[in-house]
Chains A and B, each alone.
Chain A
Amino acid sequence: AQSVAQPEDQVNVAEGNPLTVKCTYSVSGNPYLFWYVQYPNRGLQFLLKYITGDNLVKGSYGFEAEFNKSQTSFHLKKPSALVSDSALYFCAVRDEGNTPLVFGKGTRLSVIA
């Protein structure tokens, strides 16, 4: 069975600084990895995904994520954080069987002006 770990409940970063939100995963086969963001009182918005190919994936709002197979990680990054990036971020994984997404517990990002 697949699983996702987000080791940080909260990440605080100053506006303009780079940010990283960590995610590690476990699947039996090849992983399909996703990042979603949830703004207050909203549903989930898709940010980016890794399927195959280049380990660095670029997504919406300037976010990117790096797939590292040896470390089973898929950390979310942004070179320069904005106050408007403050939200709840979820990492999710599914395996090759077209199964539902399994989510991490979420990391709350707070960008301080």
Chain B
Amino acid sequence: SAVISQKPSRDICQRGTSLTIQCQVDSQVTMMFWYRQQPGQSLTLIATANQGSEATYESGFVIDKFPISRPNLTFSTLTVSNMSPEDSSIYLCSVGQGSAGNTIYFGEGSWLTVV
């Protein structure tokens, strides 16, 4: 299994600021996904980040609000821009490798509170 480290683990952010979340994996992976989990809710996919190409965003999420970088096969960042209280969520990095049957693993998440 992959070991995924996310930073920061928690943060309290001021309205209007931006925060970058880092995701580091202990092995090279082809696919990385960023999810959001709003309080008491399920996980919603923000975007798929593949190395060497631009991220693919899901409906309702845009690059200006959630810019993503994927400079290599072990690292990705998600920035939450111009934050509002509605952005208070857990942001989770996940990784997949190979075929569709392979397990997708998750980091511990970054718990953001916007005040």
Contact = CB atoms under 8 A, between A and B. Distances in A.
B100 A44 contact: no
A106 B39 CA distance: 12
A98 B42 contact: no
Say which size band chain B's interface belongs to.
Answer: 20 to 34
A90 B37 CA distance: 12
Given A43-B108, A104-B42, A98 B33 contact: no
A43 B100 contact: no
Interface in A70-113: 90, 94-106
Contacts of A34: 103-104
Nearest to B90: A43
Contacts of B106: 36, 43-46
B61 to A, nearest CB: 13
B51 to A, nearest CB: 15
Interface string B83-112: 000000010101010011101111111010
Contacts of A90: 42-43
Contact of B100 (A42, A98, A102, A104): A98
Contacts of B19: none
Interface of B: 1, 31, 33, 41-43, 45, 48, 90, 92, 94, 96, 99-101, 103-109, 111
Interface of A: 32, 34, 36, 41-46, 49, 51-52, 90, 94-106
Contacts of A95: 100
Query: Which of B31, B43, B90 gathers the greatest number of chain A CB atoms within 10 Å?
Result: B43
List the 7 closest pairs (A to B, CB-CB), nearest first.
A51-B101, A43-B108, A44-B106, A43-B109, A98-B100, A105-B42, A103-B43
A90 B92 CA distance: 14
Contacts of B48: 100
A61 to B, nearest CB: 15
A49 B100 contact: no
A32 B42 contact: no
B8 to A, nearest CB: 14
